[in-house]
Amino acid sequence: MAIFNYGKVEIEDTFAEMFSMWVGRVLITAENEKWARVAAEVATGFASSIIGSPAEAGIERLVSANETPDGRVGALIQIYHRTRSDLKRQMVARIGQCVMTCPTTAAFNALEGTLRKVKVGRSLRFFGDGFQRRDEIYGRKVWRIPVMEGEFIVEDSFGVKRGIAGGNFLIMARDLKSGLAAAEAAVNAIYKNVRGVILPFPGGICRSGSKVGSLKYKIPASTNHLYCPTLRDTQPDSKVPKEANTIYEIVINGLGLSEVKMAMAEGIKAAAEVPGVVRISAGNYGGKLGQYNVYLRDLLKE
C-alpha cells in the first residue's frame, strides 16, 4: 500500500470510484427560513443510499429572498436516481407528500438549461381535483393547486441531467472524539466552500460504509469489514491502521465532476487539520463499479 503525507496526516495513494446518476434540483420557497428548512428536510428523508433507500437526496443550501422567483427565502435540494423515470417518480412523491403538505411552501425548478425535463407539476395537478389552474408567473409555467391554506404553486416541469454520485473519502482517527470532530470539520468546509453538491448521509457523515454483496448472505450490500476497527485483529487483509479505532466516510453527490472533486479536496484538507487523524483514504472497487476515478494525490495537488 503506497502512502504519501499531507501535513502530519498519511494519505493512502488510492482513488475514489464514482458513477453517474440522474439528478433533479428543486428550489423550495416559504414564508420564512423555518418552513423552507422543514420542507427540505422532510423531502430529503430516507435517501442516504440507493442501495437501500428509494432515492439519494440532500439539502444543498439555504438561499436568500433575492435568489428566488417569488422573493421569499428558500432551500435548494437535490434528488438522485439510476433512471430518469425513477427520478421523476421520486420527485413527484417527495414534492407532493413533503412540500405541498408543508405550510407556506412553493416548488420551482432549479436546474435550468437541461435537455431533459420531467413533468412534475403536471402530475401533481390532479390533486386539485379539477379545480387546479395553469398560470405563468415569475416567467415560469406553474400550476396553482387549491389547498386548505390557499394555493400550492409548483412549476410544470423540472430539469434533470446526469450528475455524479459516490464521491467519497475515509477519515481514520485514533478515537471516536477526534474522528467525529474531523468528519464534522470536513462537512462544514464542504458546505461553506462548495456549491452544487449534497452529502446524502445523516449530517453528511456515514459510519457504516458498505461493500457490494456479502460474504455469507444473499443481500446487495454488507458492512465493509476491511475497514471495521473491531475486526482488525481477526481479518488478515484488514485495511485499518494499528493507531486507528474510528473510521468515518464522507459521501458526496454533485451536479458535475468538478463540484464533487472540489468538495472532496475541501473536506480532506479540513479533516487533516484535526488532531488525532492518522490516515485518509477512499473507497473503490478496483474501478469495476463506477465510470469516474479520482485519485487523492492528484486531487490534493490541484
Map grid coordinates 458546505 to a residue. 191
* Mean pLDDT of all residues in 187-213: 97
One domain for residues 149 and 199 = no
Structure confidence by residue, pLDDT tens digits, 52-92: 999 999 999 999 999 999 999 999 999 999 999 999 999 99
Rounded-to-integer distance, Cα 293 and Cα 289, Å: 10
One domain for residues 101 and 43 = yes
Range of the domain at 286: 3-18+163-301
With beta carbons less than 8 A apart as the criterion, state whether 40 and 75 touch.
yes
* pLDDT of the residue at 282: 97
Number of Cβ within a 10 Å radius of residue 220: 10
Q: Are strands 9-12 and 277-281 parallel, antiparallel or unpaired?
A: parallel
Phi, psi of 112 (to 5 degrees): -80, 155
Last residue of a domain, one of 117, 134, 161: 161
- Provide the CATH number for the domain around residue 98: 3.30.70.520
Structure confidence by residue, pLDDT tens digits, 87-138: 999 999 999 999 999 999 999 999 999 999 999 999 999 999 999 999 999 9
Give the sign of the dihedral formed by CA 227, CA 231, CA 235, CA 240: positive
Last residue of a domain, one of 132, 161, 190: 161
* Listed range (144-158, 178-192, 210-224, 265-279) with the worst mean pLDDT: 210-224
One domain for residues 115 and 101 = yes
* pLDDT of the residue at 220: 93
Structure confidence by residue, pLDDT tens digits, 234-285: 999 999 999 999 999 999 999 999 999 999 999 999 999 999 999 999 999 8
Sorting pLDDT into bands at 50, 70 and 90, what band is 302?
A: confident
- Per cent of the chain over pLDDT 70 is 100
One domain for residues 144 and 120 = yes
One domain for residues 61 and 120 = yes
One domain for residues 110 and 238 = no
